[in-house]
């Protein structure tokens, strides 16, 4: 019984996630959620306290996925190789869903009492990225680390808008490409390529 309820709640959260991404939090009605989940309003409220509560559960679920990917144990002794795998893992979890960027930048939380909790989760993810960057470059200053973290997160997140999983490049290949651009630099990589000719 408990497993059935958990599975049904997972279905409700997944449906809500799709709707919030497609229509936005404010534009998604309880009727929309009922239609997507094939539940009556009473049935829906058996699993959630409110639409705001459901938004929070969606956010928690997604950021747990990101957190799991970013905190995965890696055995690499080389900080640069470790960072490459870190970027690849980060790319994989974000690129799995093209809607993710819309949810990540959603301001729906700004209109709820849960915005502070949502910001804390986002800061936690940024903190993981900053920690990994500092391991790779201990000499970098705090401002450089902070800027680099936001640049990296932005690169990976916005790639979900144009990346085609059916195209010629796999998620891991794109992750490696983003890493090279980020860690090596576009102009530096071009100069190195020209020097080989």
In tens, the pLDDT along 19-50 reads 887 887 888 999 999 999 999 999 999 999 99
Chain region(s) in the chain for CATH 1.10.357.10? 56-195
Its CATH class, for the domain covering 56-195, is mainly alpha
CATH of the domain spanning 1-48: 1.10.10.60
In tens, the pLDDT along 74-95 reads 666 777 788 888 888 888 888 8
Chain region(s) in the chain for CATH 1.10.10.60? 1-48
Contact 112, 55 (CB under 8 A): yes
Task: Report how far residue 193's alpha carbon sits from residue 110's, in angstroms, rounded to the nearest whole number.
Answer: 46
In tens, the pLDDT along 89-125 reads 888 888 877 666 666 565 555 666 777 888 888 888 8
């Amino acid at each position: 019984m408990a497993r059935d309820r958990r599975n049904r709640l997972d279905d409700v959260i997944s449906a809500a996630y799709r709707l919030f991404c497609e229509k936005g939090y404010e534009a998604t009605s309880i009727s929309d959620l009922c239609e997507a989940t094939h539940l009556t309003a009473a049935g829906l409220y058996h699993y959630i306290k409110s639409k705001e509560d459901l938004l929070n559960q969606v956010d928690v679920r997604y950021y747990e996925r990101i957190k799991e990917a970013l905190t995965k144990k890696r055995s690499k002794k080389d900080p640069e190789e470790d960072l490459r795998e870190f970027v690849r893992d980060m790319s994989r979890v974000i690129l799995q869903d093209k809607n993710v960027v819309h949810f990540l930048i959603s301001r729906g939380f700004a209109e709820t009492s849960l915005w502070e909790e949502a910001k804390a989760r986002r800061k936690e993810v940024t903190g993981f990225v900053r920690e990994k960057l500092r391991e790779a470059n201990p000499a970098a200053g705090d401002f450089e680390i902070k800027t680099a973290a936001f640049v990296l997160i932005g690169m990976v997140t916005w790639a979900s808008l144009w990346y085609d999983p059916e195209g010629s490049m796999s998620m891991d290949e794109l992750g490696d490409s983003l890493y090279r651009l980020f860690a090596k630099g576009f102009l530096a990589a071009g100069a190195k390529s020209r020097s080989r000719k």
